[in-house]
């Protein structure tokens, strides 16, 4: 299947680079000079990095000195979690509790699991059936012993079902007790308004390849007054919390992608919401038994316009995915596969689904290259694919 004939509906995993980001990276790839060097070539490279940092900061409502350039969202989540937790514990050994939502990305959940093995007390707060944080349960968790809480982390928007979390409320509860709050905004930026200063957050994760930039570059946006313990030591670059030679070409490409995504976000949200509605309405006609998951309300305070997460009762998500792939339609499953054994998504289980329903779900995510023809192609092949997956499920004993 060639790229020209592929219907790509997996933009939440990674989205194609925009022309502006490709041009920026291409322009700077051949340049020489280490940004830490004092000669002319080094200063030129440093200028690229700093101008890129300034542009990113401007577009997300941050100060340039708050943008720490990193190797991607996973590194940013790890630095936020471990760096904040260790700094807080160094200042006060009683601060051992780490509070997060139960539906965080594995880039945050896995470090939390690791931190628990090192002596931290990890508490995951429940969500409702739409994937929205249970604010009462969250407040109870904080208020039970706020002096022991090192940090709170709550993603801005869920990567599987697209539900937007009540970040302002999360921040308000934590800040009453001087507790810092981090948010993984990787899926949110470019789809809903993201203003770091306005949010009140202390730290925020963003990543280039989710919004039209290259893979392998991202940032942790962190207030200057927040202390972080670095994960790696070396030359002291990036506020002495991320040593290593900055990638000037990647920074320039990242900045270009952020500039484009934020600049087009409002109009693109309207366009993608219309495409999503076309997909959901068509799906209801093609497969009436299908169930759309996540927040039903439209708008930046409720869900992303770019994700349609769907459960197909009686089907295995992996079967549906591979059958669609054979027809040139690419999406993602709501389950992860570990050592060849299908496992239900922790997000869907936290929303109250049983394992069968969770394993029979797909995520269709739209992006800047998605067209009506892409949606129509999915709807064209889906009925036959669904019938085959349903038959396979019956043969396999699935009910």
Residues in CB range of 121: below 8 A, 6 or more apart: 96, 97, 98, 148
Cβ(182)–Cβ(202) below 8 Å: yes
Cβ(245)–Cβ(34) below 8 Å: yes
Residue with token string 């079902």: 161
Task: Count CB-CB contacts under 10 A for residue 81.
Answer: 29
Residues in CB range of 224: below 8 A, 6 or more apart: 63, 65, 66
Beta bridge partners of 336: 343
For the annotated catalytic residues, the residue numbers are: 337
Q: How far apart are CA 241 and CA 252, in angstroms?
A: 21
CA angle centred on 291, ends 288 and 297, rounded to 5°: 120
Q: How far apart are CA 33 and CA 45, in angstroms?
A: 6
Angle between helices 248-286 and 372-395 (to 10 degrees): 60
Residue with token string 């290593």: 244
């Amino acid at each position: 299947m060639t790229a020209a004939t592929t219907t790509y509906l997996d933009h939440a995993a990674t989205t194609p680079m925009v022309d502006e980001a490709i041009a920026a990276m291409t322009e700077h790839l051949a340049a020489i000079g280490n940004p830490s060097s004092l000669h002319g070539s080094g200063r030129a490279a440093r200028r690229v990095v700093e101008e890129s940092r300034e542009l990113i900061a401007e577009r997300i409502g941050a100060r340039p000195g708050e943008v720490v350039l990193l190797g991607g969202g996973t590194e940013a989540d790890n630095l936020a979690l471990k760096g904040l937790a260790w700094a807080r514990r160094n200042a006060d050994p009683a601060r051992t509790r780490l509070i997060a939502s139960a539906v965080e990305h594995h880039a945050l959940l896995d470090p939390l699991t690791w931190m628990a093995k090192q002596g931290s007390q990890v508490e995951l707060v429940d969500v409702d059936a739409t994937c929205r944080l249970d604010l009462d349960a969250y407040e109870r968790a904080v208020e039970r012993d706020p002096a022991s809480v090192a940090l709170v982390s709550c993603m801005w928007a869920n990567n599987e079902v697209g539900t937007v979390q009540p970040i302002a409320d999360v921040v308000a509860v934590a800040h009453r007790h001087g507790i810092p709050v981090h948010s993984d905004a990787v899926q949110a930026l470019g789809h809903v308004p993201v203003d770091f200063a306005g949010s009140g957050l202390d730290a925020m994760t963003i990543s280039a390849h989710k919004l039209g930039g290259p893979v392998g570059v991202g940032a942790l946006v962190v207030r200057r007054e927040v202390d972080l313990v670095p994960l790696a030591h070396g030359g002291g670059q990036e506020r002495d919390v991320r040593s290593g030679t900055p990638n000037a070409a990647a920074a320039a490409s990242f900045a270009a992608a952020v500039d484009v995504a934020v600049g087009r976000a409002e109009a693109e949200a309207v366009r993608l919401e219309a495409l999503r509605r076309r997909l959901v309405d068509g799906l209801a006609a093609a497969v009436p038994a299908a169930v759309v998951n996540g927040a039903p309300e439209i708008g930046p305070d409720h869900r992303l316009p770019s994700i349609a997460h769907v459960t197909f009762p009686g089907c295995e998500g992996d079967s549906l995915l591979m059958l669609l792939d054979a027809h040139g339609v690419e999406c993602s499953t709501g389950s992860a596969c570990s050592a060849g054994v299908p496992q239900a998504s922790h997000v869907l289980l936290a929303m109250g689904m049983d394992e069968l329903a969770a394993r029979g779900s797909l995520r269709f995510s739209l992006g800047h290259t998605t067209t009506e023809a892409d949606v129509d192609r999915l709807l064209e092949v889906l009925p036959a694919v669904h019938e085959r997956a349903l038959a396979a499920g019956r043969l396999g004993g699935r009910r």
